[in-house]
Chains A and B, each alone.
Chain A
Amino acid sequence: EVQLVESGGGLVQPGGSLRLSCAASGFRFSDYWIHWIRQVPGKGLAWVSRITIDGSNTAFADSVKGRFTISRDNAKNMVYLQLRSLRVEDTAVYYCVRDGGVGTPFDHWGQGTLVTVSS
């Protein structure tokens, strides 16, 4: 069974940092791109970042560029999203999501981890 399990969310003050983790299992991890997609409570879905299969290529939404970094460890089946210089508007549930590459859908989602940025 494909599983993506996020962890690392919590309450952080504006300007603070947090590292989210995504543990993958049940599939050949190194064959898949991994994305982070977030959702402000009660609002829609917004793509945040993605990393290619070997980690050589990353991309970020303009709203987080320069503040967030993404990495992966294929030996551990893990993806990480480092969040820095956090803002109140970064408050959201962050989902770890799998896809097979260009033109393929987001076919499996984790359960999400809530990040709350507040003083």
Chain B
Amino acid sequence: DFQMTQSPSSLSASVGDRVTITCRASQSISSSVNWYQQKSGKAPKLLIDAASTLQSGVPSRFSGSGSGTDFTLTISSLQPEDFATYYCQWSWTFGQGTRVEIK
């Protein structure tokens, strides 16, 4: 079965830190990997589609990259409102999620 393996499952970071979350596909896929942010008690929100296209209104500190099997979400300077859980997704498969917590 196809899988998206996301790492780490959680991380602690401080405001201003650079944060990187990775997602590895179990087989080579197109660049149509999407990233979502979910805050506690809320529905997920699309941040990035097609691996690197930032959605309208999403701060430029968020960026995405990758192709083939390895994809990355980067937050260049973590802000208080970025503490949330992040998911990668391809087709109908989601990664397990990465919880970003305050250090």
* Chain A residues within CB distance 8 Å of chain B: 35, 44-47, 50, 61, 95, 103-112
Contacts and interface: CB of A to CB of B under 8 A. Distances in A.
A111 B43 contact: yes
A46 B4 CA distance: 12
B44 A45 contact: yes
B49 to A, nearest CB: 4
A109 B97 contact: no
Interface string B40-61: 0011111001100001000000
Main secondary structure of the interface of A (DSSP, over half): loop
Interface stretch (B17-25, B70-78, B86-94): B86-94
Contacts of A95: 43-44
Interface residues of B, number: 20
A107 B45 CA distance: 8
Contacts of B96: 44
Given A105-B34, A105-B89, A47 B94 contact: yes
A105 B87 contact: no
Contacts of A108: 46
Nearest to A45: B94
Contact of B97 (A44, A61, A106, A107): A44
B46 A107 contact: yes
B82 to A, nearest CB: 19
Given A45-B94, A47-B94, A106 B46 contact: yes
Contact of B43 (A35, A47, A109): A109
